[in-house]
Amino acid sequence: MSAQLPQTLRQMFEMQNKLNAAINESWINDDSQDWYCAVLVEGAEMIDHYGWKWWKHQTPDIEQVQLELVDIWHFLMSAELKRHGDVSLEKAIDASVAIWLPYLEQSVEKGEFLSLAKELVGQAAISQMPYQAFCKLMSAVDFTFGDLYKWYIGKNVLNYFRQDHGYKDGSYIKVWHGREDNEHLADALKAHECDSALGDNVYQSLKDAYPSK
């Protein structure tokens, strides 16, 4: 695991707070936002992408499963920051990083995907943080911390792109040229290196692909 892990984790927590504040500046004190419910719903969508219906043939869509893990990561970080919301942001981030670091540093054996996914959803349903289940799910679909970081940067950019193009007022177009925006995001992430210019490059790729009105 990279020695940069603590710093990278801190960067993601800072980015998540900034994104939440851009949508709702008082988000940290807004009890109407149920982050665990969001994890539960995204977890169910993840299970759908993996496939669970025994009465029909299904092939796991691992890329979409990994994207759902990134969405879940957004909500887990938000829930963690919210939990420490009675202290300063810096202290909340430090506490959050300290809690997550041991789970992300440890090597975990691959577990059975559906049982782990149900564990994650079940813990979220009772507002418990599914630390272990999340890390084991990453391992189950060969999703490294480096992958999580790159895809988090990309999804963070997509969330800003959506806001910039009418997500709040309902004018945003989610399906472009027969493909969802998440699929266009995947194309952009595959086309660019994970470096300091990744965010800007992904945004420009999305802008170039987005249909003009």
95 and 6 inside one domain: yes
12 and 106 inside one domain: yes
Confidence of residue 195 (pLDDT cuts 50, 70, 90): confident
Confidence of residue 155 (pLDDT cuts 50, 70, 90): very high
Number of domains in the chain: 2
Q: Which one-letter DSSP state was computed for residue 56?
A: S
> What digits encode the pLDDT tens for the residues 45-101?
999 999 999 999 999 999 889 999 999 999 999 999 999 987 788 999 999 999 999
pLDDT of residue 213: 63
136 and 154 inside one domain: no
Residue at which a domain ends, from 124, 143, 162:
143
CA dist list (Å): 188 to 18, 109, 153, 191: 23, 31, 12, 5
Q: What is the distance between the alpha carbons of residues 1 and 156, in angstroms, rounded to a whole number?
A: 23
CA atoms within 13 A on the CB side of 114: 8
21 and 86 inside one domain: yes
Range of the domain at 5: 1-143
105 and 153 inside one domain: no
pLDDT of residue 1: 47
pLDDT of residue 59: 93
The residue-averaged pLDDT of 151-166 equals 92
Instruction: Please tell me the pTM assigned to this model.
Output: 0.89
DSSP codes joined into one string, 76-95: HHHHHHHHTTTS-HHHHHHH
pLDDT of residue 2: 61
95 and 63 inside one domain: yes
The residue-averaged pLDDT of 141-148 equals 94
pLDDT of residue 54: 93
Confidence of residue 148 (pLDDT cuts 50, 70, 90): very high
Residue at which a domain ends, from 114, 143, 172:
143
71 and 15 inside one domain: yes
pLDDT of residue 131: 96
Average pLDDT of the chain, as a whole number: 92
192 and 95 inside one domain: no
Residue at which a domain ends, from 143, 158, 193:
143
104 and 79 inside one domain: yes
Report CA Rg, the chain.
17
